[in-house]
Amino acid sequence: MYRVIIIEDDPMVAAINRQYIENTPGFQVQEVFKNGCDALEYLKTRDTQLIILDYYTPLMNGGEFIDQLHQMGKAPSIIMVTSANDTQIVRDLMSRGVFDYLVKPFEYGRFKAALNKFSQAQSLLGNSKMCLNQEDIDRLWVPAEPSPAATATLAKGLNDATMGLIRNFLKENPAAMYTSEQIAEQIHLSRITIRRYMNYLVETHEIASTIDYQTGGRPSIKYRSR
């Protein structure tokens, strides 16, 4: 099980990052921090294998955090998940050994591809007695690419991160049927937002819907995975 910490001061983004990680087999979130200072204090007595890091965080930025982390003699893999896309910032972070770089708003498929790339790298580099061939080394250096399904264009006004939360919830509960209100309560979004996404998923035949007349009042629409 790969241990992960998240450094992100936006609660919604932190929650999305956490859900994406915990829905990926083999990964476990240890802690979530709003700034690098608290994370460094935590890492004084603990180790982690992967850090999901935002560049713009209180008290210190991502580059300063990495420098202090390395001064402590620690060098876990780091995946940047940030809005920072200035050329100089990207160049500086690459020079500090950042493993992968995702620009907000990120797609779920791209996030998962970054985790898969990390997992693959750990498998290849975990055995110090094994010699890598060129194909193995190429897999370490080629940028991660999400699957074609993950990069499909959404309808205007829909967000990949929100869609990822909904898809993950439905995947975890394949046999059950839920109203948009029930889904909204579980993933902490408004029912109006959920309804827009559910309508899209029904139209694209990704999920099925039915009308429940046994409510004792107004009929309700229920949804389930196909």
- Domain-located, residue 182: yes
Name the token pair of 176.
């059950």
Terminal-to-terminal C-alpha distance of the chain? 30
Q: Output the CA torsion sign for 17, 19, 20, 24.
A: positive
Final residue of a domain: which of 141, 174, 199? Answer: 141
Q: What is the pLDDT of residue 155?
A: 66
Residue 137 shares a structural domain with residue 175:
no
* Residue that has been written with the tokens 């241990």 in this structure: 3
Final residue of a domain: which of 106, 141, 176? Answer: 141
Residue 29 shares a structural domain with residue 113:
yes
- Domain-located, residue 152: no
Residue 166 shares a structural domain with residue 194:
yes
Final residue of a domain: which of 141, 169, 200? Answer: 141
Q: What is the pLDDT of residue 149?
A: 47
The structural domain count of the chain equals 2
Residue 8 shares a structural domain with residue 117:
yes
Name the token pair of 111.
């996030």
Q: What is the pLDDT of residue 191?
A: 85
- Domain-located, residue 155: no
Spatial separation of the C-alpha atoms in residues 63 and 183, rounded to whole Å: 38
Mean pLDDT by 10 residues, the chain (226 residues): 95 87 90 97 96 95 96 95 90 91 79 88 74 72 53 67 85 86 88 87 84 71 85
What CATH code is carried by the domain that includes residue 194? 1.10.10.10
- Domain-located, residue 151: no
- Which pTM value belongs to this model? 0.63
What CATH code is carried by the domain that includes residue 68? 3.40.50.2300
Residue 29 shares a structural domain with residue 87:
yes
Domain span at residue 49 reads 2-141
Residue 129 shares a structural domain with residue 206:
no
Residue 20 shares a structural domain with residue 113:
yes
Residue 90 shares a structural domain with residue 165:
no
- Domain-located, residue 154: no
Residue 110 shares a structural domain with residue 208:
no
